[in-house]
A and B are shown apart, each in its own frame.
Chain A
Amino acid sequence: MDCKKIQQVIYRFIYGESNTVELRRIKAHLENCSSCQEERLIIEEILVQLKTDATAAQEDCPECVKDRMLDGIKRKIG
């Protein structure tokens, strides 16, 4: 697997979605390519920041809104 191919599959790897064969090839490449390894760390850092921001932005659906929506659905269902 070359550096260009790594760029295409690195996100699946980072999120733990690579299949077994892909995983083995990516790991082998990263062990021998400092450039891709560095790239991976930068991407991970950004993704963690994105996730942190996303978590902070999550808003719980208030109970009253939940109840209102469910009531509305059930009224429409009849």
Chain B
Amino acid sequence: MTSVLNSIGSRHSPTRISDEVLVGRLAAGDSGAFDEIFERYHQQIYNFVKKQVSDAESVEDLVQEVFLRVYKSAHNFDVEKKFSSWIYKIALNEVKRHWKRSASRQTYSLNTPLGDEGGDTERADLLEDQRITPDVLTENEIFSKNLRHLIDRLPEKQRMVVMLKVYQDLTFEEIAEICECPLSTVLSRMRYAVNKLRRWLGIEEQEERDEA
């Protein structure tokens, strides 16, 4: 159980140069530091962006924008903060900007079958529609227990916490920094999200009183 949930610890070797030191070197003009940062983070950022944006070309553009911002803003990085939180915050902002530009939230890689013929716009409209509730889930959806599908039906803020926690293995404190909200809010969003998933999956839950 613990090994499945706590995979983040295995990502970092205690002997390698820290991300924070690397970004300091980048700020001092060491281009080799940028290559190392890209090497360490391109996979995670690529996966994160890919789960939010549908077309491959936009994914690549956005990932490039994220690393360009890292390059250009390295001197602004607060060395007291975690680099991973900083780069994910940049990535999240880039994704949000993209959503605004395209006026739709896109979730290609989650393969959400909200309508076989539905494109991203239709899907985004459905997802943003507050009238979409668990009641509209079909029996097949429930029985298939397709969690990725269900995650995509969560309210945006709750969905983002789940994505950053489960898919990106970040700590709740990192997520609080990225989402710019208190830790208690992140924990509430996680709890409400999991409780919704339980409800949709038909698993009994403790009573909820309010929403995050």
Contact = CB atoms under 8 A, between A and B. Distances in A.
Interface of A: 7-12, 14-17, 39, 42-44, 46-54, 57-61, 65-66, 68-70, 72-73, 76-77
A65 B173 CA distance: 31
Contacts of A61: 42-43, 46-47
A39 B206 contact: yes
Interface stretch (B60-68, B80-88, B92-100): B60-68
Interface string B161-176: 0100111000111000
B188 interface: yes
Chain B interface extent, by class: 35 or more
Given A51-B5, A61-B47, A72-B64, A12 B167 contact: no
Contacts of B1: 44, 48
Given A8-B188, A54-B166, A76 B64 contact: yes
Contacts of B6: 15-16
Contacts of B204: 42
Contact of A53 (B109, B147, B187): B147
Contacts of A50: 147, 151, 162, 166, 197
Contact of A15 (B5, B110, B206): B5
Among A14, A49, A52, A69, the most chain B Cβ lie within 10 Å of the Cβ of: A69
A29 B202 CA distance: 27
Contacts of B63: 69
Nearest to A3: B206
B71 A51 contact: no
B198 interface: yes
A46 B197 contact: yes
